[in-house]
């Protein structure tokens, strides 16, 4: 039975059927999380004291204790006025009897209608009626389908204050947005960690090649730019001395392995030239990292921004998935406020835009973004298409969502031609095959010294085959020159498609079309070896186009005469378009302790440090541990089933550390040595302000 098949009104099943002990805190709580337009997830705990009162009440009526969850619904917008309404117009839309299942801790509940605001009530079902014991917060449910009412155009106030950026009046503005993110992984206790290699692979195969490409464009003063979001956890790892040194050694080892391949394939017409290619590439990467950058990759990103070929923006502090934080503003301020201040510390200015983690939007996030000076954020296309009222131009124009903040929708066509597993360029038969690697192909004894501790086989970056034909296992030798020809063809095809698209859209909406093309930065180079060169060629072709201009989203916004106004709904760019990836039977167990920790952090932050330096340090570390536990990466890994034990361990580790610190703060018994150990292990975000969580 699939996980979706289990999501009727039923207890949340355990992850992969394995035994799991739910965390019990002896405290009352009830949370309601929206999974998609027709399904919510309720999670709770009833304290022994409240359970005793409930049992006593049931005995008074001489019936067994029967718990029940009810879901109430009101129209969107009415929740704000419910406190002053004499009788809120809430309608019960779902009822679940919890007979004998109170300890399950979570249920998925189907909704008869989409849209509106909902809340859960957990109480007793008795002959005298339903007696509520606990209430959840109100949550906004996304509507299904587009709004029948079309919204009006509005004059763009941002354009009125902006000076012209160029004299050209293209049919469309193409904004290419690359999202560079990795979860914070640092394991000083291991000589060589498999998970730490994620950073090494991203640096070697994506970030360094992309920087080389951008530096080349700056050197030849090529027009056009890309926007890059740098997650705070990635920036924290890039500045860490331990990780810097380990990547330098990794480059040295790979160069040694490549030199051995040169000897191994000498005289081989298929693999010999490719071995020389890798040996030269690794040496160039070492020179780039050690000699030019002095191991400071963040400075290199600052430099390409200063040269005018890239704009940098931020992401959530630890990539926490905002729609599943039911405390809302305090949790959002923690993720967004820490991110903005960390960006300013490392990049030197405040970010004007943000990549919401997983493109996860929840109504109200824009208010917090505006507090920190963020002007725009990216969402998936359906968030715009289903906004209320319906935007006349769809994703072809920015959507003002209030507080001077714009929502920018992903252009479906631009995404399809790059992301699609069937139509996307990266699947071309002549491109390099990612899954054939010397880490797996060579005898273990010949690569053991280059593998992580314990000799676990993994990718080493030396790949000698092309995709060939996905239908069959056979792979032909990879030829970079043939691949380069395909790059040129694909770049031309992509730009031609965007030109035709922009012309048609501009005619339809009466102004230049805006097209946002967002991608994971790691797609370029790591998954798609030829990706950085393709991007370079795309920018060159756009520079020669009369129909297109490649520019930053905020520059495009300032040059458009009209914008749209509306309210997007809860959404993400994950499978299903909502929260299904991050709220699933395999990972839903994380939310009760996560949401409880967020509420406890709010109280601790409100109490403050009371002028005590030790308490101030403990508060700051508690904030770090909460943020690290909130990382969406852990729930994603649990859902995809890749490194599930690691993701579970990281979630539990940070929750345990947070609980230890919270208990110490409440009890006034901070262990200085223990706190120092936590700071040494996870001391990122040195300027973290616990007040953001209040």
Q: Greatest CA separation found in the chain?
A: 91
CATH T-level topology, domain 582-694: immunoglobulin/albumin-binding domain-like (1.20.1430)
CB atoms closer than 10 angstroms to residue 641: 11
Q: Say what the pTM is.
A: 0.93
C-alpha distances (whole Å) from 680 to each of 187, 242, 646, 686 are: 11, 12, 20, 11
Domain ranges within the chain, ordered by starting residue: 1-144, 153-239+296-432+478-565, 582-694
Query: Is the CA virtual torsion 456, 461, 462, 466 positive or negative?
Result: positive
Beta bridge partners of 293: none
The CATH H-level superfamily of 1-144 is Immunoglobulins (2.60.40.10)
Query: Per the structure block, which two tokens stand in for 80?
Result: 């704000």
The 8-class DSSP code of residue 684 comes to -
Phi-psi map region of 17: left, alpha, beta (phi>0 left; psi -120 to 50 alpha) = left
C-alpha distances (whole Å) from 168 to each of 223, 499, 543 are: 13, 15, 11
Beta bridge partners of 524: 528
Mapping DSSP onto H, E and C, the string for 601-617 reads HHHHHHHCCCCCHHHHH
Pairing of strands 139-140, 117-126: antiparallel
Q: What is the pLDDT of residue 161?
A: 53
Rounded to the nearest 5 percent, the helix, strand and coil shares of the chain are: 45, 20, 35
Query: Per the structure block, which two tokens stand in for 616?
Result: 């101030």
- Check if the beta carbon of residue 140 is closer than 8 Å to that of residue 115: no
Q: What is the pLDDT of residue 319?
A: 98
Q: What is the pLDDT of residue 17?
A: 32
CATH T-level topology, domain 153-239+296-432+478-565: 7-stranded beta/alpha barrel (3.20.110)
* Bond from prior residue into 389 cis (ω within 30 degrees of 0): yes
Pairing of strands 548-550, 139-140: unpaired
Mean pLDDT of residues grouped by 10 in the chain (694 residues)?
A: 28 36 76 97 92 93 93 75 55 87 80 95 95 95 92 82 59 98 96 93 98 98 97 98 97 97 96 97 98 98 98 98 97 98 98 98 97 97 95 96 93 89 87 96 94 88 95 95 97 98 97 97 96 98 97 95 94 96 96 96 96 96 98 97 95 97 94 96 97 97
Q: What is the pLDDT of residue 685?
A: 98
The 3-state DSSP class for residue 492 equals helix
Instruction: Give, to the nearest 10 degrees, the angle between helix 297-306 and helix 329-347.
Output: 80
């Amino acid at each position: 039975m699939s996980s979706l098949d289990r999501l009727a009104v039923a207890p949340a099943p355990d992850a992969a059927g394995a035994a799991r002990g739910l965390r019990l805190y002896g405290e009352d709580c009830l949370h309601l999380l929206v999974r998609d337009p027709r399904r919510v997830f309720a999670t709770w705990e009833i304290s022994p004291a409240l359970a005793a009162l409930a049992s006593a009440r049931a005995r008074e009526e001489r019936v067994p204790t029967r718990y029940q969850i009810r879901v109430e619904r009101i129209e969107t917008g009415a929740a704000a006025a419910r406190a002053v309404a004499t009788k809120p117009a809430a309608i019960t839309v779902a009822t679940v009897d919890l007979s004998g299942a109170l300890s399950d801790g979570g249920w998925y509940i189907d909704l008869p209608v989409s849209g509106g605001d909902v809340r859960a009530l957990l109480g007793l079902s008795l002959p005298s009626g339903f007696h509520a014991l606990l209430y959840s917060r109100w949550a906004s449910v996304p509507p299904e389908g587009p709004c029948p009412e079309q919204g009006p155009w509005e004059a763009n106030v941002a354009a009125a204050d902006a000076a012209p950026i160029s004299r050209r009046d293209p049919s469309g503005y193409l904004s290419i947005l690359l999202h560079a993110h990795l979860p914070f992984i640092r394991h000083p206790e291991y000589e060589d960690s498999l998970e730490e290699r994620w950073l090494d692979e991203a640096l070697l195969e994506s970030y360094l090649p992309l920087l080389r490409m951008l530096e080349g464009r700056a050197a030849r003063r090529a027009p056009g730019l890309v926007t890059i979001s740098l997650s705070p956890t990635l920036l924290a790892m890039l500045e860490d001395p331990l990780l810097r040194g380990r990547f330098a050694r990794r480059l040295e080892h790979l160069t040694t392995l490549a030199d051995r391949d040169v000897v191994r394939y000498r005289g081989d017409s298929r693999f010999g030239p490719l071995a020389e290619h890798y040996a030269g590439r690794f040496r160039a990467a070492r020179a780039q990292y050690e000699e030019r950058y002095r191991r400071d990759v963040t400075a290199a990103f600052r430099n390409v921004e200063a040269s005018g070929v890239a704009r940098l923006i931020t992401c959530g502090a630890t990539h926490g998935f905002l729609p599943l934080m039911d405390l809302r503003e305090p949790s959002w301020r923690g993720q967004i406020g820490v991110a903005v201040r960390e960006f300013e510390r490392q990049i030197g200015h405040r970010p004007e835009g943000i990549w919401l983690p997983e493109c996860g939007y929840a109504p109200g996030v824009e208010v917090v973004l505006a507090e920190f000076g963020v002007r725009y954020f990216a969402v998936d296309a359906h968030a715009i298409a289903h906004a209320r009222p319906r935007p006349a131009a769809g994703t072809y124009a920015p959507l003002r969502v209030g507080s001077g903040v714009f929502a920018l929708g992903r252009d479906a066509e631009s995404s399809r031609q790059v992301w699609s597993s069937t139509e996307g360029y990266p699947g071309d038969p002549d491109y390099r095959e990612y899954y054939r690697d010397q880490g797996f192909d060579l005898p273990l004894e010949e690569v053991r010294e280059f593998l992580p501790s314990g000799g676990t086989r993994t990718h080493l970056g030396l790949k000698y085959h092309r995709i060939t034909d996905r239908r069959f296992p056979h792979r032909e030798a990879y030829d970079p020159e043939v691949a380069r020809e395909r790059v040129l063809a694909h770049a031309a095809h992509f730009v031609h498609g965007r030109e035709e698209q922009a012309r048609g859209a501009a005619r339809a909406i009466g102004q230049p079309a805006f097209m946002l093309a967002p991608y994971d930065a790691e797609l370029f180079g790591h998954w798609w070896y030829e990706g950085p060169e393709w991007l370079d060629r795309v920018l060159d072709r756009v520079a020669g186009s009369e129909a297109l201009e490649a520019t930053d989203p905020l520059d495009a916004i300032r040059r458009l005469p009209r914008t749209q106004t509306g309210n997007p709904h809860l959404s993400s760019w994950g499978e299903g378009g909502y929260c299904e990836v991050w709220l699933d039977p395999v990972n839903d167990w994380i939310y009760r302790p996560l949401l409880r920790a967020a509420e406890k952090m709010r109280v601790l932050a409100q109490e403050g440090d009371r002028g005590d330096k030790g308490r101030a340090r403990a508060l700051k570390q508690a904030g770090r541990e909460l943020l690290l536990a909130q990382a969406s990466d852990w729930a994603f890994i649990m859902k995809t089933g890749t490194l599930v034990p690691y993701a579970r361990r990281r979630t539990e580790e940070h929750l345990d550390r947070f609980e230890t610190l919270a208990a110490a703060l409440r009890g006034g018994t901070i262990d200085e040595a223990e706190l120092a150990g936590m700071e040494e292990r996870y001391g990122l975000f040195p300027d973290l302000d616990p007040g953001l969580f209040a």
